[in-house]
Amino acid sequence: MMILLKYWKPIAVLVVALALLSIGWFSGASHVQAKWDAEHAAIALSAAKQAQHQAEATVKVVTEYVDKIKVVHDKGATIIKEVPVYVPASADADCDIHFGFVRLHDAAATNTIPNPAGAADAAPAGVALSAVAGTVAENYGACHANAQQLIALQGWIAAMGHN
pLDDT digits (tens, 9 = 90+) for 48-62: 998 998 899 899 999
Predicted confidence band of residue 45 (pLDDT cuts 50, 70, 90): very high
Residue spans of the domains in the chain: they are: 2-160
Report the 10 Å Cβ neighbour count for 130.
Answer: 17
Q: What are phi and psi of 13, to 5 degrees?
A: -60, -45
Q: Which helix (H) or strand (E) holds 127?
A: strand 124-127
b/e for 78-87, b at 16 or more Cβ within 10 A? Answer: ebbeebeeeb
Q: What pLDDT, in 10s, does the model give residues 100-156?
A: 999 999 999 999 999 888 888 889 899 999 999 999 999 999 999 999 999 999 999
Q: What is the pLDDT of residues 63-101, one digit of tens each?
A: 999 999 999 999 999 999 999 999 999 999 999 999 999
Closest Cα to residue 149, out of 59, 54, 77, 65?
65
pLDDT at 34: 80
Rounded Cα distance between 9 and 7, Å, is 6
